[in-house]
Amino acid sequence: MPNSGLGEPRHAQILNFLGDIGGVVCLHVLLMKLLAALSLPLILTACDASHDVTESSKPLTQDAANAIGVTRLLNDPSTSFEILDDDVALDRRAARNLIAHRDGSDGFYGTSDDDLFDDIAEADAVRYVGPSALAKLLAHAEANAYIPGPEDLLGRFDGVTFTFAEAESALQLCNNESEGVLDDEIGLDRRAVTSILDARPISGMGELASLYYVGGSALGTLKAYVAQPQARIDCRGTAECPSSEVCEGIPFDGSSEFGKCRPLANIPGVGDDCSINQPCGPNLFCGGLTFGGGGMCIGAWQQDTFVNTTGRFIPQQTPQPIATSVTVRGQATVPFDITVDIDLSHDDPHSLKIVLFDPNGTDAVLWDGPNEGSASFPRSFVALGNISRDDTVNGRWVLRITNESGSGLGTLHSWTLWLSSNFD
């Protein structure tokens, strides 16, 4: 849980908008200034001016500096009914109800029954407080230095302190970046990444810190990353890459919308011959060695590893093959080297047939157990077969396992596809 001298944000608040006696303020007239300033993802619900609005919206973004500035104003001991009525120019009923809510039933500030405002949602739920009142409160908060600056402390979350700027950047990453950026580029635990993706949109740091596997380590990793952001890798198009790079390898089959930013200029030495004893120069990789002869120097980025760690039970009878996949992206246009490592345990691996399919649907038989004789299961394979080195490399690669003989039980624990790529 966060702790902060600014008042702890409460991420579970649900907004209830209440109308006044003369008619309810419809959410559709919420002032644009307030929306823009607070950056609140409101769900605008239809309303009828002849009825009270009792519909709830999604939680407001809790950590917006402007929103916290309004609650600071309302919770300030010097803020009185007269201030809200005269200086802020609220409707007298709204001013009276806000002070009454804050001061509690005894009508005095600083006593045990006080109910300070935890967030802007709580203020907006007060009767006679609508978009006009919130806009006036915001303007007064801005004019009187209640709005925290970007370097001011927001709070401490699982032992990690965040400024407002750091929190905003961290939330933008968690709500907008791809799985690849969160996992590979930022370096979050894959379980934390899954938890973040499932929770989107995340309304604030309190909600983020409450997610499974998002603890002090993950928050520290996020803070370190936003403090010194690296050049982005994932991209939806070249416009998202630096000027010296191009967005390469967006899968054609829809398995991912992201490619990766890659160098636009040729790296010196690309195309040179190479071998185990004759390596390539800096930022290069010797591709093609899995074919048994010499290789060719390609860009170091033109090789990558893709892993599926989801375990799968392998029953005795498999009328349909067990299928599991990885998505290749960010590579050049066609495959070069293709190797597969398979971690499985099985009573009788010679009953299994294991086939790799590329994104185009062509295949390479990796292991044909019933016809492998006395050979032991090697676990590592070079994929040849029907997979063309002139077809598309980026997309979903599928591993299929069939119990051909119906013998034995087992588990596929994980599998890894490593490949290099080239331009056709």
Same domain, 110 and 176: no
Same domain, 177 and 208: yes
Nearest by Cα to 109 from 130, 129, 81 = 81
Same domain, 37 and 73: yes
DSSP secondary structure code for residue 307 in this structure: E
pLDDT, position 406: 85
Same domain, 116 and 158: no
pLDDT, position 59: 32
Answer whether residue 362 is part of any domain: yes
How far apart are alpha carbons 193 and 218 in whole angstroms? 9
How far apart are alpha carbons 37 and 57 in whole angstroms? 19
Same domain, 34 and 62: yes
H/E run at residue 143: helix 131-143
pLDDT, position 365: 96
DSSP letters, 366-396, are EEEGGGSTTPPP-SEEE--TT--TTS--SEE
Give tens-digit pLDDT for 354-385.
999 999 999 999 999 999 998 999 999 999 88
Answer whether residue 413 is part of any domain: yes
Residue 43 has pLDDT above 60, yes or no: no
For residue 375, the domain's CATH number is 2.60.120.260
DSSP letters, 89-105, are ---HHHHHHHHHHHHTT
Residue 103 has pLDDT above 80, yes or no: yes
Proportion of the chain above pLDDT 90, given as a percent = 60
Domain count, the chain: 3
End-to-end CA gap in the chain:
54
Q: Which is higher by pLDDT, 122 or 320? A: 122
Answer whether residue 6 is part of any domain: no
Same domain, 94 and 169: no
Please provide residue 349's backbone torsions phi and psi, each rounded to the nearest 5 degrees: -60, -20
H/E run at residue 72: helix 65-75
Instruction: Tell me if 340 sits within 8 A of 416, measured CB to CB.
Output: yes
Interval 190-215 mean pLDDT: 93
Q: Is 61 exposed, middle or buried (0-12, 13-18, 19+ CB in 10 A)?
A: buried
HEC profile for 317-374?
A: CCCCCEEEEEEECCCCCEEEEEEEEEEEEECCHHHEEEEEECCCCCEEEEEEHHHCCC
Instruction: Tell me if 332 sits within 8 A of 302, measured CB to CB.
Output: yes
Same domain, 320 and 340: yes
Alpha carbon of residue 263 to chain centroid: 25
Beta strands per DSSP E along 41-197: 153-157, 160-163
pLDDT, position 229: 58
The residue segments making up the domain with residue 209 are 153-227
Same domain, 92 and 130: yes
Answer whether residue 373 is part of any domain: yes
Answer whether residue 206 is part of any domain: yes
Same domain, 206 and 316: no
Answer whether residue 137 is part of any domain: yes
Helix axes 164-176, 216-227, angle to 10 degrees: 100
Interval 237-245 mean pLDDT: 89
Residue 184 has pLDDT above 90, yes or no: no
pLDDT, position 231: 61
Confidence of residue 258 (pLDDT cuts 50, 70, 90): confident
Answer whether residue 132 is part of any domain: yes
Confidence of residue 230 (pLDDT cuts 50, 70, 90): low
pLDDT, position 232: 65
pLDDT, position 11: 30
Nearest by Cα to 105 from 95, 113, 117, 97 = 113
Number of H helices, E strands in the chain: 11, 17
pLDDT, position 319: 63
How far apart are alpha carbons 335 and 19 in whole angstroms? 63
Residue 36 has pLDDT above 80, yes or no: no
How far apart are alpha carbons 3 and 6 in whole angstroms? 8
Boundary-marking domain end, from 118, 143, 168 = 143
Boundary-marking domain end, from 84, 108, 143 = 143
Average pLDDT of the chain is 83
Same domain, 376 and 316: yes
Same domain, 136 and 161: no
The structure tokens listed for 302 are 């033109």
Same domain, 414 and 336: yes
Interval 288-306 mean pLDDT: 92
Answer whether residue 1 is part of any domain: no
Give tens-digit pLDDT for 105-119.
999 999 999 999 988
Boundary-marking domain end, from 189, 205, 227 = 227
Give tens-digit pLDDT for 122-171.
999 999 999 999 999 999 998 998 888 888 888 899 999 998 888 988 99
